[in-house]
Structure 1
């Protein structure tokens, strides 16, 4: 039977993890078994640069936190499980982990959660193929800008036509 101190520590871990899960845009679970220390360090560095928190928590504690968050992922919580959590960018964990799973065969993706909805391996790969948030914002802004640019060109064309017509009339009156 664990001591009260250890029990309190575990309760705190579950509570902290529950808060992170509830506030997460996306979560990806992966089996990291077989990665070398250098590979794991490289993976952690890439995730940190992308603003993704990467942690390994005991499966039982992760299961409790998931259940408190309204998720049922016990079937995926077998063997060593690492969790990549992002509260800012829904695409970042899937993108980085998919890239590294191609680079390192030992890293196996298990399941993902995007805005509270569970996605399978195909969903993670599809999410990883999406462009980054900045690229999507740029495309949307470009889409907004295109009609405005076209409208300005139409207005300029009408003004040019008016100026040409006025010049023609003034030349006609000057010749007459």
Structure 2
């Protein structure tokens, strides 16, 4: 790789890293080209991108940023996942892909909001329900107390109407 190509890669990588919501580093050893192509397609569908990079170039790209130090994770074959839409979808896509391909790729580390995520934390992220389901559960949780309040108010109105009807009937009977 020429020096100009390396400089372009470093600049492009830095731009992607700064624009990504989440970044996962993986060990992709043991995957063939066909599997890597399938992995890239799966991640693209989940709003993420997979880049295989030289560890030294990744270190150069992240050197002057506010990202935490990834020195220990940048050993051996490294694939970097950039999640641009959310943090859960790429983690879920990688986990599902690994189940069908001999537990490969393996998470090394993740970076979310400039905080390091251990592989166990990434696995917990992958087990979260989809964003739409979480929003629906939140809406349901917010709607339940309002529904209970409306029911209680309606019951009181019905009770008041019953009292007024009884009072009216008593007045009519007394006259």
- Is TM (by shorter chain) over 0.5? yes
Is residue 2:137 matched to residue 1:139?
yes
Measured after TM superposition, the shift of residue 23 of structure 1 is 2.7
> Distance in 1 between the 2:94 and 2:22 partners?
12
- How many corresponding residue pairs? 172
Does the CA contact (< 8 Å) of 1:95 and 1:128 recur in 2? yes
Secondary structure of 1:75's counterpart equals: coil
In structure 2, the residue matched to 1:120 is: 118
Q: Which runs of 5 or more residues in structure 2 are unaligned? A: none
Measured after TM superposition, the shift of residue 41 of structure 1 is 2.5
Within the candidate set 19, 27, 30, 1:31 is matched to: 27
In structure 2, the residue matched to 1:172 is: 170
Secondary structure of 1:27's counterpart equals: strand
In structure 1, the residue matched to 2:42 is: 46
In structure 2, the residue matched to 1:58 is: 54
Q: Which runs of 4+ in 1 moved over 6 A?
A: none
Cα deviations across residues 114-142 of structure 1 (Å, max 9, x unaligned)?
Answer: 11101111111111112222222222222
Does the CA contact (< 8 Å) of 1:24 and 1:115 recur in 2? no
Secondary structure of 1:76's counterpart equals: coil
Within the candidate set 92, 108, 111, 1:110 is matched to: 108
Does the CA contact (< 8 Å) of 1:55 and 1:82 recur in 2? yes
Give the root-mean-square deviation of aligned CA atoms: 1.8
> Distance in 1 between the 2:64 and 2:91 partners?
23
* TM-score, length of structure 2 as denominator length: 0.88
* TM-score, length of structure 1 as denominator length: 0.88
